[in-house]
Amino acid sequence: MGMAKAEELSLESVKGKVYTLDSVREALIRQEDTIVFGLIERAKFPMNSHTYGGGEEIPGFAGSLAEFVVKNTEAVQAKVGRYNNPEENPFFPENLPPSLVPPYPFTEFLHPKAASVNINKSIWKLYFDELLPLFVASGDDGNYAQTAASDLSLLQAISRRIHYGKFVAEVKFRESAQQYEPLIRAEDKEGLMKLLTFESVEEMVRKRVEKKAKVFGQNVTLNNGDEKNVTYKVDPSVAATLYKNWIIPLTKDVQVEYLLHRLD
């Protein structure tokens, strides 16, 4: 009975998602919230470097505790259909189990080659080597499982945002195919990068993210009257730097990578 009801609902409620430059930008703005909250949640724990050790932590598993949590969680989420959605990209696509649930009819908006664009290996490395030390206090409180769980949700949020570049690129391509096509044929990465870049949009993104980190991450007390005493759970400039140095450039790399295959 539960199943019949679910099928009925999905058929009735599926109208097909519409992707436009505005809707895609709206989605990116909403994802900023998730990323800022993710930073705040991860910052609750100190570095807990045992989570990322060389692989002695889990008997019979040749990776870190974080890797163990991510691989196993991705496997569970794959079984319930997470990666049926073209907006989702796994960190460990190798050996993921198939989905066990009835497929939802996600809008087929992207070129089929989109599935081969996955830069999660670089995101993974950046996250642990460069990002974590920027906003996490040193120390060890033993909460390795909770730490890995918060790493996973933040990594997923960052990855989803960066790979959303595929949708941005497809929208831009459809709007000005005649400008994009010659650059794609010439494999002119620089030309493509220039054409898809909107400096003013990027500046708004960075400023808004910094503001969100201030608003969402301020320590709230009942006598917050004095603005000068406000403190933050994550340094707002770190959130802005994350976007400036990594998220925006990687989103654009995904856009270029996707476009290079757009005429295959």
Ligand X SMILES: C=C(O[C@@H]1C=C(C(=O)O)C=C[C@H]1O)C(=O)O
Of 136 and 260, which CB lies nearer to ligand X in the complex structure? 260
Smallest distance from ligand X to CB 168, Å: 4
Contact between 25 and ligand X (CB under 6 A)? yes
How many positions of this chain bind ligand X (CB under 6 A)?
11
Kindly tell me which residue out of 78, 126, 248, 254 binds ligand X, with binding defined by CB under 6 A. Answer: 248
Contact between 259 and ligand X (CB under 6 A)? no
Binding span for ligand X by CB under 6 A among 52-60, 67-75, 232-240, 247-255: 247-255
Nearest CA to 71 out of 95, 49, 99, 54 is that of: 95
Contact between 256 and ligand X (CB under 6 A)? no
Of 69 and 205, which CB lies nearer to ligand X in the complex structure? 205
Contact between 189 and ligand X (CB under 6 A)? no
Binding span for ligand X by CB under 6 A among 53-61, 76-84, 124-132, 244-252: 244-252
Kindly tell me which residue out of 93, 194, 198, 221 binds ligand X, with binding defined by CB under 6 A. Answer: 198
Contact between 160 and ligand X (CB under 6 A)? no
Kindly tell me which residue out of 10, 20, 179, 197 binds ligand X, with binding defined by CB under 6 A. Answer: 197
Can you list the pairs that 203-207 forms with residues at least 24 positions away whose Cβ atoms lie under 8 Å? Answer: 205/28, 205/32, 205/243, 205/248, 206/240, 206/243, 206/244, 206/248, 207/240
Please give the structure tokens belonging to residue 141: 């409180």
Kindly tell me which residue out of 80, 186, 201, 215 binds ligand X, with binding defined by CB under 6 A. Answer: 201
Binding span for ligand X by CB under 6 A among 36-44, 66-74, 108-116, 248-256: 248-256
Kindly tell me which residue out of 57, 87, 202, 235 binds ligand X, with binding defined by CB under 6 A. Answer: 202
Residues forming the site for ligand X (CB under 6 A): 25, 168, 196-198, 201-202, 205, 248, 251-252
